[in-house]
Chain A
């Protein structure tokens, strides 16, 4: 077995061990979203954000809500590890979810929607949390 094959096998072995995910949960327009905590550097109140020239992107500019007037009741800035800042609403909690509560989006929906960072949905009780991967 050559080195690259060994590394691939090792990576696959490591990935197979993922059995839970730590997500930060927030809402926009009463829809709950979750993002892997590994992608978040910090969460900041907009009043205390450093004015260092880095743009703040409102969530709805990356993820359109056609026909709806998007408002933010308790805005917070997600500072991602790759220096991207996204304004979201009502950051609720960090939760650990077992991966067996995660479902892919229906194939049909995946085919007909614009590709974006929403990669699946977590079922928590009767609630659905849309999962985001800002690196996707």
Chain B
């Protein structure tokens, strides 16, 4: 038995393990959480940081504006204001979004641009620890890779987290 006041090796190891656990817990408490808006395009799950999102709207009539580029679906009347509505499917390599009653328009702002984005459905708005967002898969298609922040799991679905800034930046370049 160790002399009183002197820690044995096992106790030193235990202390170190507990210290590490405490440190981990402190990290977990302090870890930054990110609010995400999870949505679908066709059968795939995606997310935006909610800091870029102003509103989520049910799909109202979209009025095509002649002379608009292909990715602009048109304009919509949102409580007396006019919002543009775009289709980002083309940028991501997806075919156009089929119409359904689950369709939503996500009003997003980034790069000095404000516009609605048509999505298949909005599944959830939730806070997640930043660490749950992992690096993007290396198998991602080249079309989508420039817009991806990372990947995460949500209810057995793989969710690709997209960067609205990068999407709007690409559009700003096209302008």
Contact = CB atoms under 8 A, between A and B. Distances in A.
Name the residue among A63, A118, A127, A128 with the largest chain B CB count within 10 angstroms. A128
Given A103-B81, A106-B115, A126-B77, A118 B65 contact: yes
B5 interface: no
Contacts, number: 73
B82 A112 contact: no
Interface residues of B, number: 25
A118 B82 contact: no
A93 interface: no
A65 interface: yes
Interface string B62-86: 0111111110100111001111100
B41 to A, nearest CB: 20
Contacts of A67: 70
B171 A64 contact: no
B174 A112 contact: yes
Interface residues of A, number: 27
Given A109-B84, A123-B77, A116 B171 contact: no
B67 A114 contact: yes
A106 B175 contact: no
Nearest to B82: A103
Most buried by B among A66, A111, A112, A128: A112
17 contacts: A31-B63, A60-B66, A63-B66, A63-B67, A65-B64, A104-B82, A106-B75, A108-B84, A108-B171, A111-B175, A112-B174, A112-B175, A113-B65, A118-B66, A126-B61, A128-B61, A130-B65
